[in-house]
Amino acid sequence: MSNTPKKRRNTPRYLTLSRLHFAGPHFEGYVRWLQARNYTKTTISMLTIYLGHWTDWMHGAGYGLSTIHSGYAASVPAFRAMPNYYMRLRSGALFVLFLEEQGIVDPLPKPPSPSERWPILGEFRDWMLRNRGVKDSSLDTYQNILVHLFLVLGDEPEAYSAHAIREFVLGRAGMHGLAHARMTVTATRAYLRFLIATGRCPAGRDQAIPNFAGWQLAAVPDFLNDADIARIVAACSGEARLRDRAVILFLVRLGLRASEVANLEFGHIDWRNGRIAIRGGKSRREEWLPLPQEVGEALLAYLDRGRPTLASPRVFVTAQNPMRPMSRFAVNCLVQAALDRAGIQSGRRGSHLLRHSAATAMLRHGVNLAGVGAVLRHRSLSTTMQYAKVDFALLREIAQPWAGEAAC
């Protein structure tokens, strides 16, 4: 008997190359492509199995390499009625992307981005970043509103009469709630001020936008009490959730924003002095915050036993393949999943709920408003004052009885 070791096959034993049809000649390259993107062996095995299902359907429906894009589009409604449809479609989408990157098929032309369709929108973003220091996340929100403005009024500033601007703002406000109406005012007014500053619009045109009534800091911020905070931290226990625990503690103990957690880098951590540098907040300054013992221990546990090997300066990375640094959106999704595991119901579901909870917890434990504002890095004490309203016990003590006659 020969002692020569058999060559290990990359194709799962229950998947034959003939079943892959037009994908068969490209299968080995596809597997190497997945491996290069840090997909695990288990995930690659599943994707290749479902690729067989997808190519079976494509072959039966008469699609091949030359018609792979239209075939994928046709497979979406057909597969939605099948079990595990997500993995079947994902396997097809990844294979199409592989073929495009390898130059085997031509990619579909991408629709122009808003800045490509309306170059003045790109100028506005650059101007706001350079002169106002507005964050990209805020400019993304502005962009959605301004795209609607361009569709309604066009992108020629000469068409922006006072009457047309008011009609646009009032019309859009009628389709949404108060918060969105006020954001429409903010975005439109910022764009008009950019036009005025660059000589494209008469001075004072921004005053044509109506304001919407609303008391400043009138609402009581949503927050979690101490028991709920303990529950959401406990919902991230175990070796499989070391990253989630560290992220939740950064949010609920230090009140960081989702983008600040996502952008945290190894170079921002000063282990010797027990502090971290926060960069990229609304103030655009580098600010140092103390690293509490509990948060530091959770971070060390994640880095020692939970973080996958990934050449990135960012601390937190995704838990699913392909591995990449976490985004602001991924941090918010992590918070929502933790709230669901803890069984916590709240009107607000994102990371800002934990930022509010951190602020109110500090107040409940004796930190004054100035101290809370320093940790949250508020530019104005008036912003921090909204949290004074959540100390209901203190409010009951200082509330004075009604001096007038009792209501009938």
Check whether residue 203 and residue 266 sit in a common domain: no
387 catalytic, yes or no? yes
* Nearest one of 14, 43, 16, 39 to 27, comparing CA atoms: 16
Q: Are residues 191 and 299 in the same domain?
A: no
- Residue 367: domain span: 226-395
Mean pLDDT by 10 residues, the chain (408 residues): 49 52 87 85 86 89 91 89 79 92 90 90 92 83 92 88 90 78 90 93 87 57 80 91 94 87 92 85 70 93 90 89 84 89 79 82 73 68 57 48 52
CA nearest to 344, candidates 221, 224, 176, 211: 224
For residues 256, 262, 263, 268, the Cα torsion angle rounded to the nearest 10 degrees is: 60
> Has residue 216 been placed in a domain?
no
Same domain, 380 and 263: yes
Based on the fold, state whether residues 158 and 192 are members of the same structural domain: yes
Q: Catalytic: which of 30, 72, 191, 387?
A: 387
Mark whether 244 and 362 lie in a shared domain.
yes
Is 408 inside any structural domain?
Answer: no
Last residue of a domain, one of 102, 136, 166: 102
Residue 219 in any domain: the answer is no
Residue 213 counted as domain residue: no
Rounded Cα gap, residues 233 and 246, in angstroms: 9
**What residues contact 284, with CB distance under 8 A and at least 6 apart?**
133
Q: What is the per-residue pLDDT for 246?
A: 95
The predicted pLDDT at position 52 comes to: 87
Q: Could you tell me if residue 401 is inside a domain? A: no
Q: Which of 193, 268, 355, 356 is catalytic?
A: 355
Do 152 and 81 fall into the same domain? no
Is the same domain home to 272 and 314? yes
The 3-class secondary structure across the chain, one letter per residue, is CCCCCCCCCCCCCCCCHHHHHHHHHHHHHHHHHHHHCCCCHHHHHHHHHHHHHHHHHHHHCCCCHHHHHHHHHHHHHHHCCCCCHHHHHHHHHHHHHHHHHCCCCCCCCCCCCHHHHCHHHHHHHHHHHHHCCCCHHHHHHHHHHHHHHHHHHCCCHHHCCHHHHHHHHHHHHCCCCHHHHHHHHHHHHHHHHHHHHCCCCCCCHHHHCCCCCCCCCCCCCCCCCHHHHHHHHHCCCCHHHHHHHHHHHHHHHHCCCHHHHHCCEHHHEECCCCEEEECCCCCCCCEEEECCHHHHHHHHHHHHHHCCCCCCCECCECCCCCCCECCHHHHHHHHHHHHHHHCCCCCCCCHHHHHHHHHHHHHHCCCCHHHHHHHHCCCCHHHHHHHHHHCHHHHHHHCCCCCCCCCC
Residue 217 lies in a domain: no
Q: Phi and psi (nearest 5°) for 277?
A: -95, 130
What is residue 96's predicted lDDT score, i.e. its pLDDT? 93
pLDDT at 103: 92
Domain boundary residue, one of 207, 239, 270? 207
Is residue 311 domain-resident? yes
Residue in 282, 341, 364, 377 annotated catalytic: 282
Q: Which pLDDT belongs to residue 380?
A: 61
Strand order in the sheet with 269-270: 269-270, 275-278, 287-290
Of 70, 102, 134, which marks where a domain is finished? Answer: 102
Domain check: are 259 and 387 in the same one? yes
What per-residue confidence (pLDDT) applies to 408? 46
Do both 381 and 307 map to the same domain? yes
356/316 same-domain check: yes
Instruction: Tell me if residue 275 is catalytic.
Output: no
Catalytic residue (choose from 253, 257, 328, 356):
257
Q: Exactly one of 352, 364, 377, 389 is catalytic; name it.
A: 352
What distance in Å separates the CA atoms of residue 313 and residue 307, rounded to the nearest whole number? 12
CATH of the domain at 118: 1.10.150
Report the alpha-carbon angle 262-265-267, nearest 5. Answer: 165
Q: What is the pLDDT of residue 72?
A: 93
Q: Nearest CA to 355 among 391, 314, 387, 395? A: 387
Please tell me the total count of domains within the chain: 3
Q: Is 352 a catalytic residue?
A: yes
Quick one: pLDDT at residue 143? 92
Q: Is 133 left (phi over 0), alpha (psi -120 to 50) or beta?
A: left
What is the pLDDT at residue 71?
A: 92
What is the rounded distance in angstroms from the CA atom of residue 299 to the CA atom of residue 230? 18
> What would the two tokens of residue 183 be?
């954001």
Structure-derived torsion over alpha carbons of residues 106, 107, 108, 111, reported in degrees to the nearest 10: -140
Q: Is residue 390 located within the same domain as residue 367? A: yes
Whether residues 239 and 374 fall in one domain: yes
Annotated catalytic, 135? no
Q: Which of 205, 245, 356, 378 is catalytic?
A: 378
Indicate whether 252 belongs to any domain.
Answer: yes
